[in-house]
């Protein structure tokens, strides 16, 4: 069964407590928390302080996705804020292996994210060290974008790479996931679905999460 990770980028920041409570009461597995710096991506979201406040209201797994340059400067801050998994972008890391080891040395799981234009082969040399690879299925920076179809080919390629090595590395897909395309994404080999607008903009978010979980069974 796949993991469903609602993306708080789409939550109601005027009433975060209600959305946190909704996720806590739902079938969702993880909180997906997007950190953007306005440099790597054309948007600014939130940092460790907000994650720390959310952490106080939930014991769920915190999947923190850093869309920032020089992530190594902030790894300890996100650990203190409550991150369970910290994912950095391959495109931002000059010394990717060192970044991964830094994350793991602090007791967090480590992930690497790949933009739509970055081939999955970019993580070939560090795949054995990773807990997760995040394939961006939209260009990062904003929610509500449409799923890029070629992502399915990237998922299949990465799935083969992982299975051939006998690894337990998860494949996470972020961007444009809907109730209509979730099945094909899971069938291609994904393990984790990040859903933002599909969950938070629906009339009944808890029911939408339940439907996503049902699709992934």
Residue of 34, 37, 63, 191 marked active site:
34
129 catalytic, yes or no? no
On whether 95 is known to bind a ligand per the annotation, the reply is: no
**34 is an annotated ligand-binding site residue:** yes
184 labeled binding residue: no
Q: Is 144 annotated as a binding residue?
A: yes
Q: Which of 132, 146, 139, 145 is nearest to 191 (CA)?
A: 132
* CA distance readout (Å), 196 to 12, 35, 50, 99, 180: 11, 14, 18, 27, 14
Is residue 175 annotated as involved in ligand binding? Answer: yes
Q: Which residue has the tokens 């970019």?
A: 122
Residue 158 and residue 120 in contact, taking contact as beta carbons nearer than 8 Å: yes
| 97 annotated ligand binder | no
- Is 141 one of the annotated binding-site residues? yes
List the catalytic residue out of 19, 37, 63, 174.
174
Residue 84 marked ligand-binding: no
34 is catalytic: yes
Alpha helix locations (H) across the chain?
A: 16-25, 48-55, 75-81, 96-105, 151-165, 182-188, 197-200, 205-215
Active site residues: 34, 174
Annotated binding site for a divalent metal cation: 32, 34, 65, 174
Annotated binding site: 7, 32, 34, 65, 141-144, 174-176
Annotated binding site for substrate: 7, 65, 141-144, 174-176
């Amino acid at each position: 069964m796949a993991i469903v990770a609602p993306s708080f980028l789409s939550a109601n920041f005027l009433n975060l407590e209600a959305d946190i409570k909704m996720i806590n009461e739902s079938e969702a597995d993880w909180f997906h928390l997007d950190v953007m710096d306005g440099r790597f991506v054309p948007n600014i979201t939130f940092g460790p302080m907000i994650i720390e406040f959310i952490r106080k209201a939930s014991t769920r797994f915190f999947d923190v996705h850093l869309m920032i340059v020089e992530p190594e400067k902030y790894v300890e801050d996100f650990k203190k804020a409550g991150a369970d998994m910290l994912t950095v972008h391959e495109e931002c890391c000059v010394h990717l292996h060192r970044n991964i080891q830094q994350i793991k040395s602090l007791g967090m799981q480590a992930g690497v994210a790949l933009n739509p234009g970055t081939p999955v082969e970019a993580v070939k040399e560090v795949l054995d060290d990773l807990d997760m690879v995040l394939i961006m299925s939209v260009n990062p920076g904003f929610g509500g974008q449409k799923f890029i179809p070629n992502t399915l080919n990237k998922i299949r390629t990465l799935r083969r790479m992982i299975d051939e090595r006998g690894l337990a590395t998860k494949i996470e897909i972020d961007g444009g996931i809907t109730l209509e395309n979730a099945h094909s994404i899971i069938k291609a080999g994904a393990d984790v679905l990040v859903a933002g607008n599909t969950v938070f903009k629906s009339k009944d978010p808890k029911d939408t999460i339940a439907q996503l979980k049902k699709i992934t069974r």
